[in-house]
């Protein structure tokens, strides 16, 4: 993905998108911006998304994408140009009925908004369903930020009841928060 940097130079970034399986519906999975991103990692995570959707009986397949970059080293303008450049490369292979990217490690709702905007420009059609995790003002969903946390709590509550565990006897450790 060639990107014009703020100093005028052109830097090329490696990006990936894997559509592992669409037997149950469109591919679905996040876009990761991480310095050590590789095709092998993305392929494995796309497969994991397939299985997560199948186990939860969600009518979607597995997909995952990524760009090998440390987003903390980019300015806002460079991030926007990288997001738009990534969509320039994959836009014909995504869409609400084909593959729906979402935010993941190193990406934000603002970045999803830029990606949706670029897709709209290239496709000639306003299609908010092409990307999830956008800001609410750009067609995103209320509660998206909190949804994962609520899902964990609801699942834990149901498991405790099903297994007849006394919650006062439980301890927990949290990893990856923040």
Bridge-partner residues for 63, per DSSP? 19
pTM for this one?
A: 0.83
Residue given tokens 């800001």 in the structure block: 135
- Give the DSSP letter string of 99-152: EEEEE-TT--HHHHHHHHHHHHHHHTS--GGGSSS--GGGTPPTTHHHHHHHHH
Q: How far apart are alpha carbons 149 and 156 in whole angstroms?
A: 11
Ordered by start, the domain boundaries in the chain are: 2-142
Residues noted as catalytic: 64
Say whether pLDDT at 177 is over 70.
Answer: no
Read off the pLDDT band of 172 (50, 70, 90): confident
Closest CA to 111 of 144, 145, 87: 87
Top-level class of domain 2-142: alpha beta
- Model pLDDT, residue 147: 82
Say whether pLDDT at 39 is over 80.
Answer: yes
- Model pLDDT, residue 178: 52
Which helix (H) or strand (E) segment holds residue 66: the answer is strand 61-68
Residues 6+ apart with CB under 8 A from 52: 58, 62
pLDDT digits (tens, 9 = 90+) for 42-57: 999 999 999 999 999 9
Our CA angle for 147, 79, 119, nearest 5°, is: 70
pLDDT digits (tens, 9 = 90+) for 121-145: 999 999 999 999 988 788 777 777 7
């Amino acid at each position: 993905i060639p990107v014009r940097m703020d100093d005028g130079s052109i830097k090329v970034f490696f990006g990936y998108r894997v559509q592992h399986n669409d037997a149950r519906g469109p591919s679905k999975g996040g876009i990761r911006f991480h310095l050590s991103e590789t095709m092998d990692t993305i392929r494995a995570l796309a497969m994991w998304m397939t299985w997560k959707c199948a186990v939860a009986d969600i009518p979607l397949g597995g997909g995952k994408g990524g760009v090998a970059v440390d987003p903390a080293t980019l300015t806002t303008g460079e991030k926007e140009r990288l997001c738009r450049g990534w969509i320039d490369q994959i836009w014909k292979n995504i869409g609400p009925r084909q593959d729906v990217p979402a935010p993941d490690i190193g990406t934000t709702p603002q970045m999803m908004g830029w990606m949706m905007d670029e897709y709209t420009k290239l496709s000639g059609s306003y299609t908010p369903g092409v990307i999830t995790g956008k800001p609410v003002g750009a067609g995103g969903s209320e509660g998206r930020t909190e949804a994962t946390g609520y899902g964990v709590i609801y699942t834990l509550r149901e498991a405790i009841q099903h297994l007849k565990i006394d919650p006062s006897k439980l301890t927990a450790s949290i990893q990856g928060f923040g």
